[in-house]
Structure 1
Amino acid sequence: MISAEASLIFAKACEMFILELNLRSWIQTEENKRRTLQKNDIVAAISRTGVFDFLVDISPRDELKHRIVPYY
């Protein structure tokens, strides 16, 4: 069982998480001078951002074509 208030908080937290990952992935897209977000942009954003460390184990490592310097 979950209360209605808790489900609203979970929905907002998911929205904020997806927004943050999308924005950081878009930075990668712009750095590569492209207009289309690709899977390797998401992988790079996960690798470069400490807050997404919990996703490192499930992100495909072969998508990174060059060494990435982390920023926070």
Structure 2
Amino acid sequence: MTITAESKTEGEAKYHFREFGHNYKRSFTIPEDVNHENISASYTEGVLKVVLPKVDKSPEIKREIEIQ
């Protein structure tokens, strides 16, 4: 998964015009135990929230096997 963001700030002074930019790029490996179908993201008040729900795993069944 790669998250990329870009923002520009423009400003005007009396005799000069300025433009500033900020770039962000970050890559992550999604673990195998993530439910890829239900990944969601939201962006609120400058905060990016990405939710990676885990896959429901059935509980491990322990059993004893007798060696003959």
More helix by share: 1
More strand by share: 2
Larger Rg: 2
TM normalised by structure 1 equals: 0.23
